[in-house]
Amino acid sequence: MKRISLTQHLIEEQRLNNTIPASLRLLIEVVSRACKTISHAVGKGALGEVLGSAGSENVQGEVQKKLDIICNDYLLQANEWGGHLAAMASEEMETIHPIPNRYPMGEYLLLFDPLDGSSNIDVNVSIGTIFSVLKAPEGMTTPTEIDFLQAGTRQVAAGYAIYGPQTMLVLTTGNGVQAFTLDREMGSWVMTTNNAQIPEETKEFAINASNARHWHPPVKRYIDELLAGSTGPRGKDFNMRWVASMVADVHRILTRGGVFMYPADAREPDKPGKLRLMYEANPMAFLVEQAGGAATDGRGRIMDIQPEKLHQRVPVFLGSRSEVERVTSYHRQD
């Protein structure tokens, strides 16, 4: 079977389908190259002297791993000089990172979680890089945080790299979802899935069940029904998975269906869940919707949310459309 490379796919999207301009093609190529570098660093593990804590905390108050910082730097360095970006934002940086004056400023804003699931790094479980691309507002001269506060529907591209048994890049530019597997011998991304589709129905759900006693009633009702299986109102048995690496859980759902949930709960009533809107929920929601699935915060479409803060959190329910619609309807009835 003749497979095409990421480069050929992007050039065809630009030239044949006219869906992406050359500057966005360059941006995606640069990000994909940085993900290859990250894959190499992650793959070394202890041999690379890069495991363990960095002894610092990020803006989220989370302990940073050495690799969190290394991978953040890889993405900054790779994207600074190309002339395609105006600024970047990252889970690992409190404020935005404007392109240095010595480089030309481009028309895009890049947001990323450089190494999502980093609690899994030291135990050799799949982790990933998540990215989201927005256009800088017309007439913007000096980027500020406010320029990033755009709803998820304004994303022009989104994707993730997953560093697992295979290293893969999963991407959308608004024209379906394509997956590329890294051919390590050639150093190239090769398309292995074109137009990924999430099955409407599923028997698999993903949630951190250790938080069950803290869940709000709509989540508790929904999960209790799944656990009741064929003896309960759903009339069928369900299976559970929880990798605690959003990229790995979402990749499984994009591959074979399922529903992923990180709800708000009673532990911290003012905290709307754990996941961040701008560089985790929005890019994953774009991918999931482009693959025929759904993504809500329990009440409304995640991609319709008007952001107020760069690092704001949001409850996440995403995956197979029928299940997301069901759990969302339970919230609306609450």
**Contact in structure between 79 and 110 (CB atoms under 8 Å):** yes
Nearer to ligand P6P, 28 or 253 (CB): 253
Q: How far apart are the first and last CA of the chain?
A: 51
Binding residues vs ligand P6P (CB under 6 A): 116-117, 119, 208, 244-246, 262, 274
Considering the complex, what minimum distance in angstroms separates the CB of residue 246 from ligand P6P?
Answer: 3
Considering the complex, what minimum distance in angstroms separates the CB of residue 274 from ligand P6P?
Answer: 6
Which residue's CB atom is positioned nearest to ligand P6P?
A: 246
DSSP code of 121? G
**Contact in structure between 61 and 71 (CB atoms under 8 Å):** no
Considering the complex, what minimum distance in angstroms separates the CB of residue 208 from ligand P6P?
Answer: 4
Q: How far apart (Å, rounded) are the C-alpha atoms in residues 187 and 6?
A: 11
Nearer to ligand P6P, 108 or 260 (CB): 260
DSSP per residue over 159-181, as a string? EEEEESSSEEEEEESSS-EEEEE
Nearer to ligand P6P, 46 or 244 (CB): 244
Considering the complex, what minimum distance in angstroms separates the CB of residue 129 from ligand P6P?
Answer: 11
Nearer to ligand P6P, 11 or 69 (CB): 69
Nearer to ligand P6P, 9 or 274 (CB): 274
Give the max Cα distance, the chain.
66
Nearer to ligand P6P, 240 or 244 (CB): 244
Nearer to ligand P6P, 135 or 214 (CB): 214
Strands 108-116 and 97-98, by their bridges, are: unpaired
Alpha helices in the chain (DSSP H): 6-15, 22-44, 66-80, 145-148, 217-228, 246-256, 282-290, 321-333
Considering the complex, what minimum distance in angstroms separates the CB of residue 73 from ligand P6P?
Answer: 20
Considering the complex, what minimum distance in angstroms separates the CB of residue 127 from ligand P6P?
Answer: 8
List beta partners, residue 181.
Answer: 168, 190
Considering the complex, what minimum distance in angstroms separates the CB of residue 323 from ligand P6P?
Answer: 17
Q: How many CA atoms lie within 13 A of 194 on its CB side?
A: 10
Contacts of 31 (CB under 8 A, 6+ apart): 75, 78, 79, 110, 112, 131, 159
Nearest CA to 180 among 2, 3, 1? Answer: 3
Nearer to ligand P6P, 91 or 323 (CB): 91
Q: How far apart (Å, rounded) are the C-alpha atoms in residues 14 and 189?
A: 18
Neighbours of 77 (CB within 10 A): 11
Considering the complex, what minimum distance in angstroms separates the CB of residue 206 from ligand P6P?
Answer: 8
